[in-house]
Amino acid sequence: MDDQQERQLAQGLREGRIDAWHALYEAYARPIWQYVARLMGPSAGEVADVVQETFLAAARSAHTYDPARGPLRGWVVGIAKRQVALCYRKRERQDRIHAAGEWLVRKGRAVIHWLERRQETPPEALASAELATLVRAALSELSPDHEAILSARYLDGVPVEQIATQEKSTVTAIRSKLARARRAFREVFGSHQLSAISYQKRES
């Protein structure tokens, strides 16, 4: 692709033309795939996901492309590099969650009983990095409403009455919402324990 073709393609991308997106993919899909594969290894599934995310990100940010700052190919490669980094961070997060799930299996039912308010949990468990990892992971999987109210009440220590005032609701309604949020949290939190148990059975 010569400079003139690249300028025309860049203009088409900024204008949101479909033919420009097809041309971008035709021109760069193969070299981007090869670039990502060199960074990530032979896992075709992960490579395909990163390549797809690269072109989606390019579509979202086409209006930011400035030909004066470098060629179009370099711009797309830069996006691919960021997507590879995001994939590695996601993988590391999943590894941490899995390790924390194994810790939860070793702790048995003590933490789950604490979540269900049936017994106290030892302070060392509450202070552990593993439990903090699982709590953060579970919160991130909840709906925004549930995540917000649980974080406000149990992480920030905001009283129920203050939450009710902030949300222009009643204390009764907030307590009901908290109960539903706790149930949702227990389900997600418990799923990490079940995943770890299943993994251990496959490995044993």
Every domain of the chain and the residues it spans? 3-92, 107-203
**Higher pLDDT, residue 29 or 125:** 29
What would the CATH number be for the domain defined by 3-92? 1.10.1740.10
Residue 169, pLDDT above cutoff 80:
yes
Name the band, by pLDDT with cuts 50, 70 and 90, for residue 188.
confident
Name the band, by pLDDT with cuts 50, 70 and 90, for residue 145.
confident
Q: Between the CA of residue 93 and those of 7, 76, 97, 99, 118, what are the distances in Å?
A: 40, 26, 6, 10, 30
pLDDT digits (tens, 9 = 90+) for 22-67: 888 888 899 999 988 888 876 778 889 999 999 988 888 877 777 7
pTM of the model: 0.51
21: which DSSP letter?
H
pLDDT of residue 74: 86
Mean pLDDT rounded to a whole number for the chain? 77
φ and ψ at residue 92, rounded to 5 degrees: -65, -40
Name the band, by pLDDT with cuts 50, 70 and 90, for residue 162.
very high
pLDDT of residue 106: 63
pLDDT of residue 123: 45
Over pLDDT 90: what percentage of the chain?
15
pLDDT digits (tens, 9 = 90+) for 81-116: 989 888 887 776 677 667 666 666 666 555 555 555
Is there a common fold for 3-92 and 107-203? no
DSSP 130-192: HHHHHHHHHHHTS-HHHHHHHIIIIIS---HHHHHHHTT--HHHHHHHHHHHHHHHHHHHHHH
In this structure, of 12-16, 108-112, 138-142, 158-162, the range with the lowest mean pLDDT score is 108-112
* Mean pLDDT for the stretch of residues 160-177: 93
pLDDT of residue 180: 92
Q: Does domain 107-203 have CATH number 1.10.10.10?
A: yes
